[in-house]
Amino acid sequence: MSQKTQTPIEVRYQETDQMGVVYHANYLIWFEIGRTHFIKNLGFDYADMERNGIVSPVVDVHVSYIKPIRYGEKAYIETWLQSYNGIRTTYGYTVFTEDGTAAVTGETEHVIVKKDTFRPLSLRKAYPEWHKAYKEIIKDES
């Protein structure tokens, strides 16, 4: 089981600001792209979760901007499971330039909730296989 995934990104014009660099909030979208790819790589799918009336909102986010990325450049997002305790899941990210230089780092923290009530759920109880995979990753990294 891969501990990290790499997701390619081609910077689109609409993702840049007047200075021609990627607008800061777009990195959060790229984090989501990386996170979705990481989860699919493990054999799971957010869409299945949503079909069951469960969503996974971001409850905290941290981003550090190191180097700008510009329109027309290629980048990739490395994504991994930073921490997991059965309720809260934290993913880590590094966005690299095409030459492998770190441009942005960050993490997002998530919980899962019922879509209609926003009542928190335990990933362990709602998705035992997902829980097992995350526990194995965390154990392997200890």
C-alpha to C-alpha distance for 7 and 35, rounded to whole angstroms: 9
Annotated active-site residue 17? The verdict is: yes
**Single-letter residue type at 58:** V
Active-site choice (17, 45, 48, 60)? 17
CB neighbours of 113 closer than 8 A, spacing ≥ 6?
Answer: 54, 55, 56, 57, 119, 120, 121
- Strand ordering across the sheet containing 54-55: 54-55, 112-114, 120-121
Catalytic residues: 17
